[in-house]
Amino acid sequence: MSLVNIDVTLRDGGYRNGFGFDLDYARAHARLSLAAGFDWVEIAYRKGSFKPVPKLGLTGRGDDDYIEAIAGEVGAEHVGLILHPRNIDDTDLPAMYRAGARLVRVCVAAGDPQPAFDAVRRAREIGFTTCVNLTRVTQLPARKVVDLAVAAAEAGAEVVYLADSNGSMLPEQTARLTTLVKSVANVEVGLHAHNNLGLAMSNAMSAVDAGATWMDSSVLGMGKGPGNLVAEQWIAYLERTKLVTGYDLGTVLHLADLLGRSVPESAPSLPLPDLVLGHFDLSVELRGDIVEHDDHRLAVHTAKSLAAG
Amino acid sequence: MSLVNIDVTLRDGGYRNGFGFDLDYARAHARLSLAAGFDWVEIAYRKGSFKPVPKLGLTGRGDDDYIEAIAGEVGAEHVGLILHPRNIDDTDLPAMYRAGARLVRVCVAAGDPQPAFDAVRRAREIGFTTCVNLTRVTQLPARKVVDLAVAAAEAGAEVVYLADSNGSMLPEQTARLTTLVKSVANVEVGLHAHNNLGLAMSNAMSAVDAGATWMDSSVLGMGKGPGNLVAEQWIAYLERTKLVTGYDLGTVLHLADLLGRSVPESAPSLPLPDLVLGHFDLSVELRGDIVEHDDHRLAVHTAKSLAAG
């Protein structure tokens, strides 16, 4: 089989440190990430994440000079960015390409997907490899997933990513959604997992078993809340099972060590409120309603009520 | 299905804090563990772990008065201990039973299993529920696992536990070993997982799918190295999938919060050297050979050589 691995540390990990990686670290990270065997390094959001973040750092802006610096380090053919279509204007995609990005991932808002598909169409014309990310995919009816996947493929998306934004996906559900998307659209399927319930590895295996061929992970799992699929665990699994070859565990561990020493916010953690959010498939925007309870029994009760609507 | 869950925090978590839980904490832990739905609380090693530990704390000794205190708190029918047969004499099992323990788990040394089977036979005569733990099961040839399982059943063991002491088991291997033991011996099968490779949840699911009916987990995953199956993740999974009922996520999270506040050593961590050990199925006794390398690429190289013998 073939499998495309994206290292999303610099981007999703940015939720932990205000996207405040410095350029020297980002350069070193990208270089080691490629040496470890990753196909793409997702280096930033272009012009911000879903919600505005104050004092947005380097990897929350994705400016042209930053793209140029990383492309100079590892080659444009390994540099990707993600974006929300509402944050960009007509000048962004051409500027990103000129600066040296070759992968763009466009987040799809299920309620208003057309701007995302327009961005995908434009990106393909320019020459990008293009993915769409179906965010909060666990909250979408299957019929909606079908419609979005078909429309994304028609717009020119080469990969449809299932983004388990709430960290609530179960392996059986991952397999079902992967099969569903592959059945209706001529696209590859990717998984962006979050580890709220300790299921990121299980979901990754389940997705690949069902035919997914693109996978996100981050070093030390550094990502929003309890983080993403842990890159070093995933690479270890690929090495052990020989599912795919060409990855180097020693180098990814060397990178994990560097990240741990350089960025204190990368320390692994499993916050209990995020487990509750994942369990009830609630968005991180509701975290405040959960953490206000000192007693986690009340937190679970509140989450249950919120999930019931 | 039916599933018996053992909370091993006080015992396996002891590797993190010199088994130094205090009695008040152990009482509170056991009470909440039962309230969360655990069937058994494994409260200690009797007279020490595999390797002698200096200044062995409360849950590394498992003295009679400690057993009495916890049995008084939650009832003897929920109190278990684990032991290495070489550490006990003829007086221990009767004294443990009198003090109020009703579950005993006997670790089997594959090279010299007879003392374990003798202890199991004696424990059954006394009235204990009895398990054997096949430690470092990943290093045993399948034929050896068969022999040990059959002999354990003949000695009166009701449960044969696959103990993934090196944290190196893959889900497919877990399923195969579970099926193997169930095929040759009239026993229930249990899993004791370690999370070196981030596979504890995957292995737990795989074991249960293959017919395992006993499961170890620990709160916050607190256990040797990167720890065990994380109890709150496992209970969340059971609640979501409705595989079994009667567990209460809010209470286990309340307990996780209490543990986190009371015992600093319980903080989740994923040490890189333990990932290397798990990846190459090496015992924790070789950890020193791994951590001496500042460069994890050399650590992987060393581990590979050690694994090749």
Chain A residue numbers touching B300 (CB-CB < 8 A): 249-250, 253
Closest-CA distance, B201 to chain A, in angstroms, reads 7
Closest-CA distance, A13 to chain B, in angstroms, reads 17
Q: Within 13 Å of residue A143, how many CA atoms lie on the same side as its CB? A: 0
Distance separating alpha carbons of residues A13 and B209, to the nearest angstrom: 34
CB contact under 8 A, B205 and A250: no
Tokens 């053992």 found at: B6
Q: Between A and B, how many CB-CB pairs are < 8 A? A: 115
Residue A4: helix, strand or coil by DSSP? strand
CB contact under 8 A, B270 and A268: yes
What proportion of chain B, given as a percentage, has pLDDT over 90?
89
Closest CA in chain A for residue B235? A197
- Give chain A's mean pLDDT: 95
Q: For residue A52, what pLDDT band results from cuts at 50, 70 and 90?
A: confident
Cβ of B39: how many Cβ atoms within 10 Å?
A: 19
Q: For residue B1, what pLDDT band results from cuts at 50, 70 and 90?
A: confident
Q: Who has greater pLDDT, B236 or B294?
A: B236
pLDDT at site B294: 77
Q: How far apart are the first and last CA of chain A?
A: 42
Residue A219: helix, strand or coil by DSSP? helix
Contact B268, A270 (CB under 8 A): yes
pLDDT(A309) > 90:
no
Q: Is B23 on the interface with A (CB under 8 A)?
A: no
- Where in chain A are the domains? 4-266, 272-307
Q: What is the mean pLDDT of residues A286-305?
A: 88
Distance separating alpha carbons of residues B197 and B192, to the nearest angstrom: 14
Chain B residue numbers touching A233 (CB-CB < 8 A): 197-199, 275
Task: Quote the tokens at residue B74.
Answer: 């939650």
CB contact under 8 A, A198 and B230: yes
pLDDT at site B90: 96
Chain B residue numbers touching A199 (CB-CB < 8 A): 201, 233, 237
pLDDT at site A243: 87
pTM over 0.90: yes
| Each residue's pLDDT tens digit, A66-76 | 999 999 999 99
Q: What is the mean pLDDT of residues A39-56?
A: 91
| Each residue's pLDDT tens digit, B34-70 | 999 999 999 999 999 888 778 899 999 999 999 999 9
Q: What is the mean pLDDT of residues A278-283?
A: 94
CB contact under 8 A, B297 and A253: yes
Closest-CA distance, B62 to chain A, in angstroms, reads 30
Chain B residue numbers touching A237 (CB-CB < 8 A): 170, 197-199
Cβ of B183: how many Cβ atoms within 10 Å?
A: 10
Closest-CA distance, A185 to chain B, in angstroms, reads 29
Task: Quote the tokens at residue A293.
Answer: 């309870």
pLDDT at site A1: 76
A4-266: CATH number: 3.20.20.70
| Of residues B236, B276, B301, nearest to A279 (C-beta) | B236
Whole-number Cα distances in Å, B168 to A246, B6, B143: 21, 21, 19
| Of residues A202, A249, A300, nearest to B250 (C-beta) | A300
Distance of CA A94 to the CA centre of its chain: 23
